[in-house]
């Protein structure tokens, strides 16, 4: 392996998206590009766009949420075109954007293009400086195809690595090379990825050499999806990719005494994901030839720690930019995230992103919480919730500091249909 290896973690442990709607994939009609002007009179004077979470907002388990169909009837005109810019922001990551767009089209009954979908790995396409590097990809689903789709040219999987270095993967007896027997009592599945990623980190990508725990510069690490838990069919939450990261961080720390550092963390609530969403919304408005820039974003979700935290974090960044009136000013998200790597400096954005991405037109991102998913309005939080959450149940990533203000939703509504009604009312928009 080359010296300049990049470790890339793509979401694991999400239910297969094809499982949600069975094998039946919506047959897309020749979806008109979103460049068609909205049919509603005066729509070109609108200045807002919508970000929808998927699980718990539009679908629950395998079933569409009825309010979603109702909401989307209001969001498309008689030709099936969206009347305002709409994107779907999910932390799922085990399929291509096109696959997710096809599934959403089927669920919602309206044509949705891949340019409207942001998955946990989507922001990787902006890290162009790594696209020519040798990249190790860890995750489930078609990870090599996903990595190539976002721009990486030289990718290898954990399986490819394991086959090249069979002696490194020893925990699972069934996959162990025939050697003198040793007994282990460790869980299988994750150990291969954890072992080989730690090997790559501690050998600086030279797997033929032994571990160097001192003075080894850490390889670049990009992680997609920080969800500690997620809801499946079981009564209680299941391990998410965030749990895998907790394992990796702690193993690395235990062995080296150093903190594992990320080049970037993406997926909600990371700002990078919202930057990317803002860019897609802005692109849709430009394609529609809207006269005014999109200044207001509304993010609709069911999870306080991802959807609401993320929207509010991005809102802080936008407000700070507006307050400073200085396009080169960097929003000091470090104070909120506790990490210098969570947000690229603005001058870095200029070099990393397509130029359109450098400067958001949005000046606010309002959070709207729905009660059809993980948020339970009947579960009262204790009076000392701030202390309690911070000390005991903050499930956010190590590099994100808990701030009670960031989990305070702008609005709470019953479902996504109510959310759309509320937003239309706030924007004084009456669909034709």
Summarize as ranges the residues that interact with Mg ion (CB under 5 A): 53, 55-56, 302-303, 373
Residue 406 CB, nearest approach to Mg ion (Å): 17
- 191 by Cβ neighbours in 10 Å (0-12 / 13-18 / 19+) ranks as middle
DSSP class of 206: -
Query: Which residues lie closer than 8 Å to 374 by C-beta, 6 or more apart?
Result: 56, 231, 302, 303
CA-based radius of gyration for the chain: 22
What residue number has its CB nearest to Mg ion?
56
Provide the 3-class DSSP secondary structure of residue 215: coil
Shortest approach of Mg ion to residue 306 CB, angstroms? Answer: 7
Least Å distance, CB 314 to Mg ion, is 17
- Our CA dihedral for 266, 269, 271, 277, rounded to 10 degrees, sits at 90
CB atoms within 10 A of CB 230: 22
| Least distance CB 427 / Mg ion (angstroms) | 24
What are the Cα distances from residue 306, in Å, to 53, 211, 212, 228, 234? 10, 36, 36, 11, 21
Nearer to Mg ion, 158 or 370 (CB): 370
CA 268 to CA 43: how far, in whole Å?
Answer: 29
∠ Cα 396 401 406 (to 5°): 80
Which whole-number Å values give the CA distances from 378 to 370, 374, 375, 381, in the listed order? Answer: 13, 12, 9, 9
Complex with Mg ion: residue 278 or 302, whichever CB lies closer: 302
Shortest Å, Cβ 304 to Mg ion: 10
Report which of 259, 222, 262, 193 is spatially closest to residue 133, judged by C-alpha positions.
222
Nearer to Mg ion, 59 or 349 (CB): 59
**Least distance between Mg ion and beta carbon 390 (Å):** 23
User: Coil, helix or strand for 196?
Assistant: helix
CB of 411 to Mg ion, least distance (A): 16
């Amino acid at each position: 392996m080359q010296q300049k290896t990049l470790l890339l973690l793509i979401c694991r442990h999400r239910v297969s998206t094809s499982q949600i709607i069975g094998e039946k994939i919506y047959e897309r009609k020749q979806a008109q590009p979103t460049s068609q002007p909205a049919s509603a009179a005066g729509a070109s004077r609108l200045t807002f766009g919508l970000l929808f979470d998927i699980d718990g907002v539009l679908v629950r388990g395998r079933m569409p949420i009825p309010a979603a169909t109702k909401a989307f009837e209001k969001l498309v005109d008689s030709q099936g075109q969206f009347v305002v810019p709409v994107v779907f922001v999910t932390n799922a990551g085990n399929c291509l954007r096109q696959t997710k767009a096809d599934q959403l089209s089927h669920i919602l009954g309206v044509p949705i293009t891949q340019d409207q979908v942001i998955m946990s790995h989507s922001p990787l396409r902006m890290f162009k400086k790594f696209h020519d590097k040798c990249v190790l990809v860890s995750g489930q689903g078609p990870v090599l195809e996903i990595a190539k789709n976002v721009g990486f040219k030289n990718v290898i999987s954990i399986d490819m690595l394991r086959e090249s270095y069979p002696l490194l993967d020893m925990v699972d007896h069934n996959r162990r090379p025939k050697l003198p027997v040793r007994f282990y009592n460790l869980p299988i599945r994750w150990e291969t990825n954890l072992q080989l990623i730690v090997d790559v980190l501690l050998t600086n990508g030279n797997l033929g050499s032994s571990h160097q725990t001192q003075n080894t510069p850490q390889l670049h690490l990009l992680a997609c999806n920080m969800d500690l838990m997620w809801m499946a069919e079981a009564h209680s939450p299941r391990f998410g990719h965030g749990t895998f990261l907790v394992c990796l961080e702690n193993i690395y720390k235990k062995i080296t005494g150093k903190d594992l550092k990320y080049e970037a963390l993406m997926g909600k609530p990371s700002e990078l994901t919202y930057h990317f969403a803002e860019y897609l919304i802005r692109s849709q408005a430009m394609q529609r030839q809207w006269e005014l820039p999109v200044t207001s974003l509304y993010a609709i979700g069911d999870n306080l720690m991802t959807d609401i935290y993320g929207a509010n974090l991005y809102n802080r960044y936008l407000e700070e930019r507006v307050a400073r009136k200085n396009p080169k000013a960097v929003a000091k998200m470090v104070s909120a995230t506790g990490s210098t790597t969570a947000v690229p400096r603005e001058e870095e954005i200029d070099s990393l992103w397509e130029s359109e991405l450098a400067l958001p037109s949005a000046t606010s991102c309002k959070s709207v919480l729905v009660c059809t998913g993980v948020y339970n309005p009947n579960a009262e939080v204790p009076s000392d919730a701030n202390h309690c959450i911070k000390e005991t149940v903050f499930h956010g990533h190590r590099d994100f500091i808990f701030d009670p203000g960031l989990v305070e939703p702008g609005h709470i509504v019953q479902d996504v249909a109510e959310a759309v009604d509320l937003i239309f009312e706030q924007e004084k928009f009456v669909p034709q």
